[in-house]
Amino acid sequence: MRTLLKLCCGVGALALASCASTDVAPIETGASPDVTTDEAGLWQQMDKYEQALRTSALLERDPALNAYVRGIVCDVAGTDYCEDLRIYVVNRPYFNATMAPNGLMEVWTGLLLRAENEAQLAFVLGHEFTHYKNRHSLKNWRKAKNAANASLLVSIGAAAAGAGGASELGSLLALSALYGYGRDLEREADMEGFAYVTAAGYDGSQAAVLWQNLVAEVQASQSKRKKRRFARSSIFSSHPLTKERIATLQGLAADLSPGKRNEQDYIGATAPFLAQWLDDDLVRRDFGENLFLINKLIERGDMLGTLFYAKAEALRLRRGEGDMVKAEAAYLKATKFSDAPAKAWRALGDALRRKGDTSGAITAYQIYLELNPAAVDRLVVENFIKTHALEG
Amino acid sequence: MSFLSFRACCAALLLAFLSACVSTQTVSTTNDFDAIRADAVVLLMEPDVQLSLLGASGMREVRADWTQTGKANVLAEIEKYLGADGHQLVEHVLNPENPREHQLIKLHEAVGTTLLYHRIFRQPLPSKKDKNDWSLGPGVQTLVGETQADYALFLYARGAYATAGRQVLAIGLALAGGGGVGTGDQQAFASLVDLKTGDIVWFNVATTGQGTDMRKPEGSTKLVKAILKGFPLSEGGK
């Protein structure tokens, strides 16, 4: 027992002596950390991650899209800081962007699919840039280190006092403090990010709109658990409650005159990827959210061939009561628009064939092969047409 | 001798034993391969090293400066060790603009850890019974380049070194009758790869305790000596 107490003091003294400061100044432009610091270690690990990311199959390499996103980052972060940032568009169908301490920023295509205009995207980019500028990764790391040491002290102290169970409490308290700290950093990123975005002339009101859209999407989710988790906060939440964020952002925007949204530029820049991103979004298999998103984009009124095809696919895959009938109608609708993919005709053919409309199916298949003469399934489709045309 | 000081002695002895402990295990290919010529050119791939600080709570913090030092020390030692045998060595620094090279380093990590797990740690694979045909594949030929190298030596090394707080904790807990608090270690594995086939013709793993610190020249001498034990180009190994 006495040994444990002594140990507690010994480790305590050393751990506290090495308690890392989370009070760090914002990073300067062009700066990189001294090689002997913990920050250099973080950078080194992220450099390694970045090297792997550069060969990743998930990377979207389209030069035009990358230049477009980078342009908005530079607009928000300013040209000096922009030179320190490397931005990667990553094909992941989730609403997210990430920022690493070494200047690596990931923008996920799930975010690009959901943002409605430049102002909304710019807000997220400003938020991420704040994480970089204010060195939030370093602060978080140091906080985690201090919390782990503190938790260790509580555990040894508890063991010395003969209260083993209290050691669990020690880790729990340390962990919740850590998450609380993380939420404070997120609030800071929201506030500063908002300031950068509005200073660059973007419409600040769009920041809250982005979150409101996300709330509506989650409300449409088919997962009760997901809805519950989203609406409730816990001491282990990594981000502040979305309701709180919306209220804060609306408050910030209230006194400001509206700025630019650049909606048409945004739609133009993302249009070539819409079909792919919708396809990827279906991989999430949350048909409530998938359909919510598609219907919202349909309201916009263009690329309807692409969108109705995606809607039909979601319905077909959901396979709920009456979904096949709705899917067939959506395939048919998609084929009325010039941007419908060739495979919409193929899918329409399949749907008609399934309900016994062979001649309708043959017509759809023929158009499919005309539009896509190099189709990989050409022989199969031709064989169907030949066999059933003879029967007819 | 009081009971407490007896325990203290035990703990000290244990640490001394750990620090002196270096274990290695070599694996040689069972594939056909031509005997290695005396004038063979060996490419020394930039070692994949990462050294960390082991905090009191057990969190590992990567140290960029230690990593740099460790990498340089180990590379210099390898050159000294193999150079003494008259082998033609060519240092190969990874080109950040060539993703292929980085993929090969990752591939070596993946194949090496698989080999470790299934051959050394005794989780045998039925398909690898009585044979060691591990290979990085002929894709390694891209490394040959102008050097006309015949072999490439890959090295993977990780190390963790305890803070003072961690050391106090380890000794203290040992005194109090507890244990299981590590005070850092070093693991490394190396492969000699035939650049024609990609086959790993020789593989060795070394685990060393605290005393063999690759951040210091004498520590890296010890580590390299251990990791290159039985290296096939040396006459009968050292």
Q: Do A3 and B172 touch (CB under 8 A)?
A: yes
Q: Which residue among A15, A38, A51 places its CB closest to the CB of B61?
A: A38
Interface contacts A/B by beta carbons within 8 Å: 84
Q: Hey, are the CB atoms on B63 and A18 less than 8 Å from each other?
A: no
Per-residue pLDDT at A366: 97
Cβ–Cβ below 8 Å for B64 and A41: yes
Pairing of strands B200-208, B88-92: unpaired
Alpha-carbon dihedral of residues A102, A49, A123, A301, nearest 10 degrees?
Answer: 150
Alpha carbon distance A4, A9 (integer Å): 9
Work out the pLDDT band at B83, boundaries 50, 70, 90: confident
Q: Which of B57, B63, B71, B215 to mutate to test the interface with A (most CBs of A within 10 A)?
A: B57
**Do residues B231 and B192 lie in contact, with contact meaning Cβ atoms separated by under 8 Å?**
yes
**Token pair belonging to B5:** 């000081």
SS3 content of chain A, % helix, strand, coil (to 5): 70, 5, 25
Using CB atoms and an 8 Å cut-off, which of residues 164-183 of chain B contact chain A?
164-165, 168-169, 172-173, 175-176
CA distance B235 to chain A (A): 37
pLDDT values of chain A reduced to their tens digit, one per residue, 392 residues: 555 556 555 555 555 555 778 889 999 999 999 999 999 999 999 998 998 899 889 999 999 999 999 999 999 999 999 999 999 999 999 999 999 999 999 999 999 999 999 999 999 999 999 999 999 999 988 988 888 877 777 676 666 666 655 556 666 666 677 777 788 999 999 999 999 999 999 999 999 999 999 999 999 999 988 888 887 766 667 777 788 899 999 999 998 888 999 999 999 999 999 999 999 999 999 999 999 999 999 999 999 999 999 999 999 999 999 999 999 999 999 999 999 999 999 999 999 999 999 999 999 999 999 999 999 999 999 999 999 886 65
Residues in B closer than 8 angstroms to A148, CB to CB, are 55, 57-59
**Plot region of A75 (φ>0 → left; ψ -120 to 50 → alpha; else → beta):** alpha
Mean pLDDT of all residues in B198-223: 86
Chain A residues with beta carbon closer than 8 angstroms to that of B69: none
Q: Is the pLDDT score of B20 beyond 50?
A: no
> Cα separation of A100 and A39, whole Å?
11
Average pLDDT rounded to a whole number, residues B95-111: 89
**Residues on A contacting B at a C-beta cutoff of 8 Å:** 3-4, 6-7, 10-11, 14-15, 18, 35-38, 40-45, 51-52, 54-55, 141, 144-145, 148-149, 151-152, 156
**Percent of chain B's residues with pLDDT above 90:** 36
Q: Which chain A residues touch B175 with a CB distance below 8 Å?
A: 3, 7
More confident residue, B130 or B16: B130
Task: Kindly identify which residue of chain B lies nearest to residue A149, measuring between CA atoms.
Answer: B57
pTM for the full predicted model = 0.83
Question: Is some CB atom of chain A closer than 8 A to the CB atom of B5?
Answer: no
CB contact under 8 A, B173 and A43: no
Of B56, B99, B103, the CB nearest to A149: B56
Shortest CA gap A233–chain B (Å): 28
B57 touches chain A (CB under 8 A): yes
Higher confidence at residue B176 or residue A62?
Answer: A62
Q: SS3 of B236, please? A: coil
Q: What is the pLDDT of residues A110-149, one digit of tens each?
A: 999 999 999 999 999 999 999 999 999 999 889 888 888 7
Q: Do A3 and B106 touch (CB under 8 A)?
A: no
* Residue at B223: amino acid letter: L
The shortest CB-CB distance from A10 to any of B58, B106, B168 is to: B168
Pair of tokens at residue B200: 């790993």
A198 burial class (0-12, 13-18, 19+ CB within 10 angstroms)? buried
**Helices marked H in A161-238 — which ranges?**
166-199, 205-219, 224-231
Cα distance from A127 to chain B (closest Cα, Å)? 27
- pLDDT tens by residue, A27-72: 999 999 999 999 999 999 999 899 889 988 999 999 999 999 999 9
For residue B78 the two structure tokens come to 């390898």
Q: Where do the H-state alpha helices sit in chain B? A: 3-20, 64-83, 99-115, 164-175, 217-227
**CA-to-CA distance for A102 and B82, rounded, in angstroms?**
37
Is pLDDT larger for residue B207 or for residue B197?
A: B197
Is residue B160 very low, low, confident or very high in pLDDT (cuts 50, 70, 90)?
Answer: confident
In this complex, is the C-beta atom of B96 within 8 Å of any C-beta atom belonging to chain A? Answer: yes
Instruction: Tell how many helices (H) and how many strands (E) occur in chain B.
Output: 5, 8
Nearest C-alpha neighbor of B61 from the set A139, A50, A40, A102: A40
| Alpha-carbon gap, residue B15 to B183, rounded angstroms | 9
Q: How far is CA B178 from CA A7, A166, A338, B230, in A?
A: 12, 18, 74, 39
Contact at CB, A52 and B102, closer than 8 angstroms: yes
Tokens of B189: 């594995």
Q: What is the mean pLDDT of residues B87-113?
A: 90
Confidence at residue A12, expressed as pLDDT on a 0 to 100 scale: 55
Q: How far is B46 from chain A (nearest CA, A)?
A: 14
Q: Do residue B175 and residue A3 have CB atoms under 8 angstroms apart? A: yes
pLDDT band at residue B15 under the 50/70/90 scheme: very low
List the strands of the sheet with A59-60, edge to edge: A59-60, A86-90, A104-108, A97-99
The pLDDT mean for chain B works out to: 81
Inter-residue contact B103 to A52 (CB < 8 Å)? no
Question: Is the pLDDT assigned to residue B18 strictly greater than 90?
Answer: no
**Residue B14 pLDDT class (50, 70, 90 cuts):** very low
Q: Which of B56, B65, B96 sits opposite A11 (nearest CB)?
A: B56
What is the Cα–Cα distance from A282 to B84, expressed in whole angstroms?
61
Residue of A8, A11, A145 to mutate when probing chain B, most B C-beta within 10 A: A11
* Per-residue pLDDT, B1: 41
Give the model confidence (pLDDT) of B34-59 as tens digits. Answer: 667 777 899 999 999 999 988 877 78
pLDDT at res. A183: 87
> What pLDDT, on a 0 to 100 scale, did the predictor assign at position B178?
63
Burial of A328 (0-12, 13-18, 19+ CB in 10 A): buried
Q: What is the pLDDT of residue B19?
A: 44
CA separation for the pair A209, B29 (Å, rounded): 62
Instruction: Give the gap in angstroms from C-alpha A101 to the nearest C-alpha of chain B.
Output: 14
Q: Categorise residue A214: left if φ over 0, alpha if ψ from -120 to 50, beta otherwise.
A: alpha
CB contact under 8 A, A41 and B173: no
| B55-69, B141-155, B178-192: least confident range | B178-192
